Structure 1
Amino acid sequence: MTERDTVDDIADQWALIRPDLNGEAIALIGRLRRLNSRVDQSLREYFATWSLDSSEFDVLATLRRAGEPCELNARALLEAAMVTSGAITNRVDRLSAKGLVERRPSPTDRRAVLVRLTPAGRTLIDEALAGHVSNEERLLAALTPAEQTQLTTLLRKLLVAHGDTEPFPRSR
């Protein structure tokens, strides 16, 4: 018998009160939301060991995976992070104050600013990344490699169906 989780109790309650509703949808979305909360908590705890929050790690990782020279214009960074321009400004300000990123004028557009990893920022993200991936592997350890592949395929299908198909910005 499969072990029950908290969502099973919630779904059972809804089935009694509103049997006309799709209990599978309630249970699946409930599980996604609860799992997301637990994953976010684990990530926050890991990033804190590096004196970063999740949003700062995201900016550093975005710049690092952009490829050499590990910089993006502010607009591309904004698009990659999917937040407001004010939020990106605050993140970049905090990382700049820590000496992890620097702003520089674009050589091709006087109105544009480029955000680049500093050597300290690159070292930090490279060192933190290995532990981050190990943490992610730990979070997924209850699934076999085949189950992880199957889940990846299904989640991709849902993301595409909901319009999450924008390409990642590259260095500019």
Structure 2
Amino acid sequence: MAPPPHVKEAVMNAVDAESAGSGVVVNMRPRRSGLAWTLTAAAAVIAVVFFGLWSVTSGQLDEANQIAAVYEASDTVVVNVDTPNGPARFVYSPSLGQGVFNGASLSEVGEEELYELWLIDGETVEPAGTLQAGDSSVLVEGVTSGATLAMTVELAPGVDAPTSDPLFAAEL
């Protein structure tokens, strides 16, 4: 059954009117304002800073746990040393192969200098860490009984082999 002629005519007129419209295309997607882009960028920066700080804090926590393990080990050995620059203490655990050097009482060295620790085993001399005056704890890896711990003053950021006479050398 066909629609009455007046219905067909009304539908055709509506189609013609719509196709002959203004030709303006309207974007139906919402536009982001400058504020939205700024907030998105700020959130990204905050995320990067947060994860960077978390990474640093995580590393410091790991080192703090290792230092605590040295102090809590059943075979902990304490070595007190006197240097021309003040007293210091080295606590180590042969079973862990780690030690903690405390140089909190050491005096200041030159502006471009620092203290450098060395592990000496026979003819082998290995850098074992650097510190500034007042540093409370430096974790030292690769500690073995019978080795010697020594400390020199070197140019920052440290060197591969000692360039000055040791302030102390203590047999472990």
TM-score by length of 2: 0.29
Say which one has the larger Rg.
2
Higher relative contact order (CA 8 A, sep 6+): 1
TM-score by length of 1: 0.29
Is the strand fraction higher in 1 or 2?
2
